[in-house]
A = this chain, B = another copy of it.
Amino acid sequence: MALIVKKFGGSSVATTKKIIAVAQRVLDEKKPGDKIVVVVSAMGDSTDDLIELARGIDRDPYKYPREMDMLLTTGEQVSIALLAMAFERFGQKAVSLTGAQVGMQTNSAHTKGKIMEILPERVKKELDEGKIVVVAGFQGVDSLGDPTTLGRGGSDTSAVALAGALKADSCEIFTDVEGIFSADPRICPDARKMQEITYEEMLEMARLGAGVMQPRSVEMGQYFEIPIHVRSTFTSKPGTFIRKEYTMDEKGFVIRGVAHDSKVTKMALIGVPNRPGIAHQVFSALAKENVDVDMIVQSIRNIDQNVTDIVFTIASTDLSAARRVLKPIVAKLDAMDLVIEENVAKVSIVGAGMLGSPGIAARMFGALADESINIDIISTSEISISCLIASDRMMQAVNAIHKEFFPPA
């Protein structure tokens, strides 16, 4: 007897047929006495359809974030009602609950709400009555009683947070992949499905570009210490467990994964006066515009003229904001140039084990050198090493590094 929270995304509930299939699958896996909560997203593209509808009122409907949340929360409300009906059709007692009804209290930051507290008394009551509880993901309610949404990846976050509040045995995230892989299988055919990965490593993987899980939901799992089981919608095979510590011994793998990120842009402020406060001036201006700066290198260009180059990377989506911020700064500092390079990519290795294993960095650099791939910038964290390289070498780099750390059997 277990309490399990299962989350199905929008593509799993895109049609009424698929909704019926989800109900069937949940019932197939349910053991007698199990308490099941199913968290679902809006059907298929219905959220996009609602956004498009709002564009009929104003081309930029996100100017009205409270009303966008009022609008968008209807998407999940439709899918929970239908899924609850599907369970009932199979003779299984079920009840659908909105974000407000499951006590998903958020702040009032509409369209990007943060969960403040979960008061799932209603959920517990319904579970005790033998019902499957179908919950609208992605949404909550603020202190005024207004519907809110949690922003990107919000349904995963809802599911994990609710699992935490309910002290569930596990939270299963159903996706279109079979689990977490040692690299992206689309670019690295040798990538292996991991049986386990720690929250910490998963967070680092996500931060460095691995797209399966949104960092917020992993953080939520880590906070509540809820094992997250990432698994496929299409098979019943086990996927990957994200948990605090390894329960099995997957020997020899100091590295848990190779991540890559091609949506990176390199910016170089050339010939900046080398005096205190310059870096602060540059990066605080970027921070004010919410431009996240990743790798940073500062190097002396010319000792006689006492000028330096400040080189850093940003997410490509922030490029226009960064350009807007830096233009006046370049002028004010009388810098020689602002060079923007878009055809770069970041490849990274992640693994908590590297802390106690010297020589990991050398092996990574060696793998790249063997392929004559030039490293532009290197950055490290306690559990990762990242290299900036030319984007047209990214695929080759990922495969070379993967082969080094996950040699074919």
Contact = CB atoms under 8 A, between A and B. Distances in A.
Contacts of A145: 100-101, 122
Contact of A96 (B20, B70, B86): B70
Nearest to A57: B85
A336 interface: no
A85 to B, nearest CB: 5
A77 interface: yes
Interface in A48-95: 50, 53-54, 56-58, 61, 63-64, 66-68, 70-71, 73-74, 77-78, 80-82, 84-86, 88-89, 95
A228 interface: no
A57 to B, nearest CB: 5
A87 to B, nearest CB: 10
A16 interface: yes
A302 interface: no
Contact of A77 (B66, B73, B95): B73
Contacts of A96: 67, 70
Contacts of A98: 70
B85 A54 contact: yes
A290 interface: no
A233 to B, nearest CB: 19
A78 B50 contact: yes
Interface string A362-405: 00000000000000000000000000000000000000000000
A349 interface: no
Given A56-B17, A101-B145, A122-B145, A61 B85 contact: yes
A364 B146 CA distance: 57
A19 interface: yes
A235 interface: no
Contacts of A306: none
Contacts of A71: 77-78, 81-82
A144 B309 CA distance: 64
Interface string A3-35: 000000000000111011000000000000000
A132 B70 CA distance: 16
Contacts of A78: 50, 53, 71, 74
A82 B57 CA distance: 7
Contacts of A68: 81
A95 B66 contact: yes
B67 A84 contact: yes
Contacts of A64: 84-85, 88
Given A20-B57, A56-B17, A81 B85 contact: no
24 contacts: A15-B56, A16-B57, A17-B56, A19-B57, A20-B57, A50-B78, A54-B81, A57-B82, A57-B86, A63-B88, A64-B85, A64-B88, A66-B95, A67-B81, A67-B82, A67-B84, A70-B77, A70-B96, A71-B82, A74-B74, A74-B77, A77-B77, A101-B145, A101-B146
Interface of A: 15-17, 19-20, 50, 53-54, 56-58, 61, 63-64, 66-68, 70-71, 73-74, 77-78, 80-82, 84-86, 88-89, 95-96, 98, 100-101, 122, 145-146
Q: Please provide the 5 A-B residue pairs with the shortest distance between their CB atoms, ordered closest to farther.
A: A16-B56, A71-B81, A74-B74, A70-B81, A57-B85
Given A71-B77, A74-B78, 4 more contacts: A64-B88, A68-B81, A74-B77, A101-B146
